[in-house]
Structure 1
Amino acid sequence: MNRTPWQRRREPLDHVELARLLPAPGDPELPRGRLTRLEEHLMSEIQQHAGRQAGQSDERRSGIHAQSAPLVPPVPLEPPRRTRRRGALIAAAAAVAVLAGAVGAGQIIGGHRAGPGGASAVEANVPAPVVQVRPGTTHGLRLAMDRISLAAGQEKPAQPGPGQFIYIKSQVSWLSIEENVDANEHRTWVQKLHPREVWLSPDGRKGWLIEMGNGNTSKEGMDLDSDVKPYLSAPSYDYLKTLPTDPDALLKKIYRETAGHGDSPDQEAFTTIGDLVREQLMTPELTSALYRAAAKIPGVVLVDEAKDAVGRSGIAIARVDEKLAERTEWIFDKKSFTYLGERTVQIREADGIKAGTVTARTAVTERSVVDEMKLLPGTGTA
């Protein structure tokens, strides 16, 4: 299931829900875009906190304290869990009130995180890469999607059986921002490229994550066990096998079940498909249908050149989120048309982030089926 701390297109919070739980904040002095980013970071913290309260062995701890100096350390916009549960909000209402009050006063609370060996997450940040923003076009899009869908349909991935686990390894990097509230200045950073390993049971009830570079886990990792019934935004392998493989029926279901989320119905549908493709194992028929469904979403374009997180070059199927002025790119090999990874690029300056800044990047390097949780493919050892 996609219950892991994974990048999720800076999804807007349920502001009505938060408003009912919190006292009214003061007038924020931050720009709306910056405040939204801080709110989304807060939502991630709420959900992480709720997971720990439920007994998850998450090693991360946030040291929340007011800063005496105006320049605060980078606050990672880490991937929030996709599961939307009211209980997660209630479980950390006190923490929300503290942060809401600070933001309302025009100050930012420090986001220091102690990583493995006591290292701060701040030390893992590097300048964000900047690339040329290549134009997207619908010319050749249909042909490219046909080839991508055909390649996906012809793949023969291993299918997990009872007691086995899906293993996915990626290289990933996410955005961080450093704010100077008094001077109204900020700097954009990204985390150093780091490995992410996930083990998932077919029914979605058991899982394991190791991702030290994001401050999510220790060297040993954390469990992703869940008793939540799988659904589209938090699926399991078994659940995905129940989805229709007719592209029109599939897209209709995606629009229906994601209604009211994201910046727009079209963007949310595109994001949802991208989330499924990035860190799941699916039948070839479903993967092919997802790509054909994505081709029907308004605003989807073809970009003739893009690179994944490890530098592999390919073409990209992309869509611009106009509200955030960023383009999400799914990257495919130019010859085999197999999926390589995903990249998010700022297409024009917004909230002080310059055009061409790569704010997120991933590269899937292995998808396998193993016999035990934490077992590595081909080694026979955990």
Structure 2
Amino acid sequence: MNDIETLRECWERPAPPAADVRAAARAALLARAAGPPRGRRRWAVRALALAAATVVIATGATVVQTVAGGERSLPPANAQVVLTRIAAAVQEKNFTPPRDDQWIYTEIRRQGHFFKGMQPGARFTPSTPLRTDVDDIWTRADGRRIGYMVNGKLTTSDPGVRTPENTYALLTALPTDPDALLARFREIHGGGKPIDDAYLFERFAVTLEQSIVPPAQEAAIYRALAKVPGVTVDESATDAEGRPALSVSRVADGWREVEILLDPATYAYRQRRETAVADHDEMSPRPGVEAYTGEDGTSTPQPPRLEWSIEKGAVWNIFTRTAVGVVDQVGQKPRPD
């Protein structure tokens, strides 16, 4: 035994890395392996990919690759790295949970095109002005009452059937394991039927928007998003006000990109934005759906008609959370920071 071997025997072996660290390292290595060669020879790129795979095997992680199109592309790996980083940060934030008898207030400004009374056949382009509405919502932390404004008057009511998206008491009961959280959301929103990944992504986006999310559950949401196929991250995005933002996004329905826009430094939630990434005609009934109209007691098939259309590049909706906080009474608003 030489001196180096003696030292190795004396030193403590390092503890295995945590699961989040392994996931981030795995994604980073795969991203490097899948990226452009930057002038290296082909054998050098293959060697880097082999080295990445060796490190992953050594840490006990499992890599799943898509066969079609070769190795996993850079955006999914980068998204996994960034979402893991966000989860670790939000889990450590300061948080004071509300009492059951307190109220959570949210003010949401919606800018968009789809409103009651919209003219049939309307076409929206990037230059079409957005209509703006503002909603004030109060929800008791225990979920028993909800408050809202009707024609300028405060009204409260029984909330009826609630989901974790807008009920703090249900949020705190959500699992903090990302796989268990994904399964729970599929159960809640599927009604016993499968739901697609795009809809699942939107439910997570709405959950971040409509309430105060406890740190453990917020971290679990971002770890769950890192497991949803098709999710991408852009760290050089801008929000609707032109401020630098971090965008977490996924395409839904084949034509609209749904973005979760965060503060790039604190990862605080800002907005949910939907933008057309392809031209789209909204037909009623939709393709594959039969609708009937009754005339003289008979039912006749209803031919498809154009409800509205949108041009690629046009914004469909922007939901901005302009205020959120805990208050003691319904109707109160939190003091601005």
User: What does residue range 186-201 of structure 1 map to in structure 2 within 5 Å?
Assistant: 186-187=123-124, 189=128, 191-201=130-140
The answer to whether residue 162 in structure 2 is matched with residue 230 in structure 1 is: yes
Mark the CA change 1:238 to 1:304 in structure 2 (over 3 Å): closer, same or farther. same
Could you tell me which residue of structure 1 aligns to residue 323 of structure 2? 366
Spell out, residue by residue over 1:8-53, the C-alpha distance to the aligned partner (whole angstroms, 9 max, x if none): xxxxxxxxxxxxxxxxxxxxxxxxxxxxxxxxxxxxxxxxxxxxxx
Deviation at 1:139, TM superposition (A): 4.5
1:255 Cα deviation after fit: 1.9
RMSD of aligned residue pairs (Cα, Å)? 2.7
Instruction: Indicate the percent of aligned positions where both proteins have the same amino acid.
Output: 24
Residues 303, 261 of structure 1: alpha-carbon distance in 2 compared, 3 angstrom cutoff: farther
- Residue 274 of structure 1 corresponds to 205
Contact 1:171 / 1:309 at 8 angstroms: preserved in 2?
no
CA apart distance, 1:228: 2.7
Structure label with greater radius of gyration = 2
Aligned length: 232
Find 1:293's aligned residue among 212, 224, 245: 224
> Structure 1 counterpart of 2:97, which letter?
Q
Matched, 1:163 2:93: no
Q: Which runs of 5+ in 1 are unaligned?
A: 1-135, 211-216
> How much does 1:196 deviate?
2.7
* Deviation sequence 1:334-363 (CA, Å, 0-9, x none): 222222111001001111311111111122
The amino acid across from 1:299 in the alignment is G
Question: What is the distance in 1 between the residues matched to 2:235 and 2:278?
Answer: 19
Q: What CA distance in whole angstroms lies between the structure 2 residues aligned with 1:249 and 1:163?
A: 29
Tell me whether 1:147 sits opposite 2:85 in the alignment.
Answer: yes
Is the Cα contact below 8 Å between 1:148 and 1:338 reproduced in 2? Answer: no
Q: 1:252 to 1:187 in 2, by over 3 A?
A: closer
Give per-residue Cα distances to partners, 1:238-269, cap 9 Å, x unaligned.
11111111111111111233236999521121
For structure 1, which segment, 295-304 or 251-260, has the greater mean C-alpha deviation from structure 2 after superposition?
Answer: 251-260
The residue number in structure 2 matching 1:337 is 267
- Equivalent in the alignment of 1:205: 144
SS in structure 2 of the partner of residue 287 of structure 1: helix
1:245 aligns with 2:202: no
Q: Which amino acid aligns with 1:248?
A: D
Query: For each residue in 1:312-354, what CA deviation from the matched residue of structure 2 results, as whole angstroms up to 9, or x when unmatched?
Result: 330211110134x101000112222222111001001111311
Equivalent pair of 1:176/1:190 in contact (CA under 8 Å): no
Counterpart-to-counterpart distance in 2, 1:308 and 1:302: 14
Q: Distance in 2 between matches of 1:340 and 1:262?
A: 31
C-alpha distance in structure 2 between counterparts of 1:365 and 1:226, whole Å? 25
Q: Distance in 1 between matches of 2:194 and 2:278?
A: 17
Q: Name the amino acid aligned to 1:228.
A: G
Is 2:196 the partner of 1:257?
A: no
TM (normalized to structure 1)?
A: 0.55
Q: In the superposition, relative to structure 1, how do residues 147 and 206 fare at CA in structure 2: closer, same or farther (>3 Å)? A: same
- Tell me, in whole angstroms, the C-alpha distance in 1 between the residues paired with 2:238 and 2:140: 31
Deviation at 1:304, TM superposition (A): 3.7
| Distance (Å, rounded) in 2 between the aligned partners of 1:265 and 1:161 | 35
Relative to structure 1, the CA distance from residue 180 to residue 364 in structure 2 (aligned partners, 3 Å threshold; closer, same or farther) is closer
Q: TM-score, normalised by structure 2?
A: 0.62
Structure 2 gaps, min length 5: 1-73, 282-308
Flag the structure with higher strand content: 2
Q: How does 1:76-115 map to 2 (within 5 A)?
A: none
| Aligned counterparts of 1:160 and 1:175: Cα–Cα separation in 2 | 35
Change (3 A) 1:353 1:186: closer
